């Protein structure tokens, strides 16, 4: 490398640069060394954070036993993550838009935005199912990517395929980019090494630490033309599931990474430029702890809400059976059309209408469109908990 001080100690955590030409310009592309970092991660200053994150994660994982409705929570949580993760990417859809889209009701945001979020849900659900038959691997990552970009804006960005052209991050052209990931001819090598690290057991690093290393390495490689952030965030959760740290995919870091985006990007950059893995890991573990605690707290509040609302419906004493049936259905579908409620619960249209009016009087549901036809009902307090943190940022942030 030019300009390297030959007397300075070599930082073996750093990779190498190669000249490559793209967009008519010569740029220096970075090739990261394989994981784990060498010299090894200094775990001592991380221990306190690590054990706090592990505790929080264990508590969250425990709700799958504690909470009878954990499948519902997971179902909604996957959707919330899809909204947040897609907002990082720039779509303005809200959870309500997604749920409306899924109930065939009109969404408030451009259809492309909502479709993108819906594709993300699809990619996640697919990945979770596929992991039952295939180990976490490059193949699985590509298959998820194919679903993520299956339609809408992403369709032109080679869904399911690792890139065949040079990309860059930050800046308006390769020449002024913040970072240029590995050139195409080096991709196979760095990706194979990453795949190997997904399965290695000789480093004896804690699974959470490894999840943090894997995320950064994936972003540094940036193997796709688009969707690297979303797939890289998903990788963290799927990895923790394969390692048995989580029994259900309940941890999603998007809100944390969105909230502290500038710091997040700075730390990614510092790993590459200085080998500053420990600083990144501090930040990552803090994120795991915060996120796991928030998710646990939300799950508990949701369980309480369901119980209290059930009691309120029962105490009313009139037409309890049909109102409870609707309440039950709304827990799985907090946004639903009156027509669908009839179809799914087997109740007649007049019975559904009366039960809805009862639930409205109790303040449990509210009509969302203000229209006479195609009415959509929402389980408002439940939606409020689910929507926490998902209000889109003003554009430009």
Residue 174 within binding range of ligand ATP, rule CB under 6 A: no
Residue closer to ligand ATP, measured from CB, 91 or 351: 91
Residues 6+ apart with CB under 8 A from 355: 319, 322, 323, 325, 326, 347
Q: Which of 43, 47, 178, 300 binds ligand ATP (CB under 6 A)?
A: 178
Using CA atoms, how far residue 387 sits from 136, 281, 298, 372, 381, in Å, is: 30, 28, 11, 26, 10
Q: Which of 54, 61, 81, 89 binds ligand ATP (CB under 6 A)?
A: 89
- 222 catalytic? Reply is yes
Residue closer to ligand ATP, measured from CB, 61 or 226: 226
Q: CB of 11: closest distance to ligand ATP in angstroms?
A: 18
Q: CB of 223: closest distance to ligand ATP in angstroms?
A: 9
Choices 19-27, 104-112, 218-226, 370-378; region in contact with ligand ATP by CB under 6 A = 218-226
- Using CA atoms in the order 242, 248, 253, 256, what is the torsion angle rounded to 10 degrees? -140
Interacting positions 132-171 with ligand ATP (CB under 6 A): 169
Of 185, 222, 247, 327, which one is the catalytic site residue?
Answer: 222
The SS3 assignment for 290 reads helix
Tokens of 320: 């309890």
- Main-chain dihedrals φ then ψ at residue 169, nearest 5 degrees: -120, 135
Q: Which residue is nearest to ligand ATP (CB)?
A: 229
Q: Which of 18, 31, 88, 305 binds ligand ATP (CB under 6 A)?
A: 88
227 is known to lie in a ligand binding site: yes
Residue 226 within binding range of ligand ATP, rule CB under 6 A: yes
Residue 322 within binding range of ligand ATP, rule CB under 6 A: no
Integer Cα distance of 214 and 249 in angstroms:
17
Residue closer to ligand ATP, measured from CB, 267 or 302: 267
Integer Cα distance of 243 and 387 in angstroms:
30
264 is known to lie in a ligand binding site: yes
Strands (E), the chain: 16-22, 25-31, 335-337, 365-367, 376-379
Query: Do residues 15 and 193 touch, judged by C-beta distance below 8 A?
Result: no
Tokens of 95: 């959870």
Q: Which of 93, 118, 220, 390 binds ligand ATP (CB under 6 A)?
A: 220
Interacting positions 259-278 with ligand ATP (CB under 6 A): 265, 268-269
The number of angstroms, rounded, from the C-alpha of 318 to the middle of its chain's C-alpha atoms is 42
Residue 230 within binding range of ligand ATP, rule CB under 6 A: yes
Q: CB of 228: closest distance to ligand ATP in angstroms?
A: 3
Q: CB of 268: closest distance to ligand ATP in angstroms?
A: 4
Residue closer to ligand ATP, measured from CB, 35 or 355: 35
CB atoms within 10 A of CB 9: 6
Query: Do residues 315 and 364 touch, judged by C-beta distance below 8 A?
Result: no
Tokens of 37: 């970092």
Residues 6+ apart with CB under 8 A from 238: 127, 128, 131, 136, 249
Could you list the active site residues? 222
**Residue numbering of the annotated binding site for ATP:** 89, 222, 226-233, 264-265
Residues of the shown chain interacting with ligand ATP in the complex, contacts defined by CB under 6 A: 88-89, 169, 178-179, 219-220, 226-230, 232, 265, 268-269
């Amino acid at each position: 490398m030019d300009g390297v001080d030959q007397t300075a100690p070599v930082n073996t955590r750093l990779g190498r640069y190669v000249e490559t030409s793209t967009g008519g310009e010569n740029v220096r592309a970075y090739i990261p060394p394989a994981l784990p970092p060498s010299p090894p991660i200094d775990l001592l200053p991380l221990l306190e954070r690590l054990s706090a994150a592990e505790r929080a994660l264990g508590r969250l994982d425990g709700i799958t036993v504690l909470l009878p409705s954990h499948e519902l929570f997971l179902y909604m949580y996957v959707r919330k993550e899809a909204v947040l993760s897609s907002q990082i990417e720039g779509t303005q859809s809200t959870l309500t838009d997604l749920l409306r889209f899924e109930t065939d009701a009109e969404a408030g945001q451009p259809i492309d935005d909502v479709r993108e979020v819906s594709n993300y849900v699809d990619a996640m659900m697919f990945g979770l199912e596929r992991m039952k038959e295939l180990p976490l691997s490059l193949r699985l990552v590509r298959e998820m990517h194919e679903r993520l970009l299956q339609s809408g804006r992403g369709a032109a960005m080679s869904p399911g395929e690792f890139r065949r052209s040079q990309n860059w991050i930050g800046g308006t052209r390769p020449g002024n980019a913040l970072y240029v990931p590995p050139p195409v001819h080096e991709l196979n090598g760095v990706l194979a090494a990453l795949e190997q690290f997904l399965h290695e057991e000789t480093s004896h690093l804690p699974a959470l630490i490894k999840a943090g290393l894997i995320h950064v390495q994936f972003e540094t490689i940036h193997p796709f033309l688009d969707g690297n952030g979303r797939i890289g965030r998903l990788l963290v959760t799927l990895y923790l599931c394969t390692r048995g740290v989580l029994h259900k995919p309940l941890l999603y870091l998007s809100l944390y990474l969105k909230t502290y985006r500038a710091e997040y990007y700075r730390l990614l950059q510092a790993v590459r430029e200085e080998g500053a893995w420990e600083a990144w890991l501090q930040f990552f573990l803090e994120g795991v702890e915060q996120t796991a605690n928030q998710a646990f707290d939300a799950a508990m509040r949701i369980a309480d809400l369901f119980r209290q609302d059930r009691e309120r419906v029962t105490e009313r004493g009139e037409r309890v059976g049909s109102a409870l049936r609707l309440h039950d259905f709304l827990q799985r579908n907090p946004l639903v059309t009156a027509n669908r409620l009839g179809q799914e619960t087997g109740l007649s249209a007049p019975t559904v209408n009366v039960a809805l009016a009862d639930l409205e009087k109790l303040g449990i549901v509210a009509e969302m469109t203000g229209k006479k036809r195609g009415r959509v009902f929402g389980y408002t307090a439940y939606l409020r908990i689910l929507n926490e943190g998902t209000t889109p940022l003003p554009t430009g942030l």
